[in-house]
A and B are shown apart, each in its own frame.
Chain A
């Protein structure tokens, strides 16, 4: 029973990482930019909801404000990153996205303070099965997270919209010659990615507490998952998101005696696992090695 409880708790964290890894993958696909600012987007969206709720706005209006903030951050991200996407300048894109994230976090700290906030102050309601339990926000994170991920995979691989996205990912110049508006595709993807990030920001805050840095560790893990999973494979990213988050959680949770590991080991374990996987499968977990072109 102990193992299953640890697994259940770890699954919530794994799904949080997954929900940031998927948008990170989508943005990278169409722009070749690692949009690390998505972590701060998650935090900004959650703070918007917090602002509405603490000012006694109705829940619907508070959620509306959160959606507006997520889309506004998407708009700012598009404005900042689009020139680098067009120039295929991934490094400057990454740096700009990272700076945007730091700036947003600093702005949130100035506006709301650095001390944590609760979206729900009371003890969280739980679902109970015998000795096993899970918080309701945790359960919804898993259910909605898995559903959204399946939807994203289906959209990308099985629909005309997915083909459009993949054509832009493959070669945006050729896509343009087929009258596909690559910039519009990137804008739409950024908006979807910000909404997904916002969702995970809110669910993580509900399950724990809200701080300006809440998205930072998650986006770092999601970034590792994207690299380990293979930047061109959504299924690989999904698998890697669970591997890099579940394995350290399980190792820490199940360790004991001489091998006992504290929670401080988690990030070290993440990078050890990532290193092993990257050495074993340098192109990604599910990506076939490509023949080198002379």
Chain B
């Protein structure tokens, strides 16, 4: 009986996917006389709240499998609590902060690691002499920022002329955008969380009409077409690094059905919609096979290879699957996969 811990930020979209896909899983499980149930707890994308939610699920409800956190801050918060115990297995579909790797033998993520995307963004931006970064203060964005900064040191020709951080959930960026403008960067790495924060950032960037001589780079936060539509002229030509495009017709049809019945999952995007379903699929299959034994499920997860909507899933000695990154360019308002 696995239970999911998620909510705020992308949590509402995760809930749509989970609610829809659970009925499919239970249809298969019914043939074996099983029924899986999901209970939601809100980690609010913070370490503190996720630890409270973890204790409630584990100590009060006796839960053994947690599908979460829904963002890196949550997973980083609860991973140490699983380290010396073989009683709870935590599997995230979304957390990408590289620090998660090696943190606990009982915490895994089906996301790609930001170690990959941060390095590729740095390499792409190394073609410029003056670069800038604007980051949100949370574990996902700070994690990828650190990778980017470290990777950029290999390219001495590229100098970071502006390095701005804004508080989590902030909504007025005009002052820091003016600071970045003054530094005259040739390329800017926009590094906010997805959703309204990402949209607000480009919206306010577009207000500065006399500043256009820069190239934009980002990640998953700007992959949703809804986000790109907010300021189409500014994002045209933006380079986005994310997981490879998912082309499995079965998945694309499933996602269409989810959106038709539950509403949009635009911020979650293709990859994380697929990884959310893959986590549910893999965990429930292993529980059906091995029983409600976190140690046995963990061992199987660490050693076997699974086929999911995100592709071949194999962890080896890592806590992330071996997923490559891909480069997209925004052309006519849409992110197009680059060769």
Contacts and interface: CB of A to CB of B under 8 A. Distances in A.
Interface of A: 2, 5-6, 9-10, 13, 113-118, 121-124, 126, 128, 131, 133, 135, 207-209, 211, 213-214, 249, 252-253, 256, 260, 262-264, 266-267
Interface in B137-188: 137, 163-167, 169-176, 178-179, 182
B207 interface: yes
- 6 closest Cβ pairs, A-B complex: A116-B196, A208-B171, A263-B166, A262-B165, A123-B206, A9-B174
Given A115-B8, A122-B230, A252-B176, 12 more contacts: A115-B196, A116-B196, A123-B206, A126-B207, A126-B209, A211-B171, A213-B169, A253-B178, A260-B163, A263-B173, A264-B137, A264-B166
B231 interface: yes
Interface in B100-145: 137
A132 to B, nearest CB: 10
Contacts of B196: 115-118, 209, 211
Interface residues of B, number: 34
Contacts of B208: 133
Interface stretch (B24-32, B197-205, B244-252, B312-320): B197-205
B210 A115 contact: no
B74 to A, nearest CB: 14
Contact of B172 (A6, A121, A208): A208
Contacts of B175: 6, 9-10, 249, 252-253, 263
Contacts of B137: 264
Contact of A264 (B167, B209, B210, B267): B167
Contact of A263 (B164, B195, B207, B230): B164
Interface in B201-254: 203, 206-210, 230-231
Contacts of B169: 211, 213
Nearest to B211: A131
B172 A207 contact: yes
Contacts of B171: 116, 208-209, 211, 214
Nearest to A130: B210
Contacts of A6: 175, 178
Contact of A121 (B8, B197, B230, B267): B230
A138 to B, nearest CB: 8
Contacts of B182: 2
A46 to B, nearest CB: 12
Contact of B207 (A113, A118, A133): A133
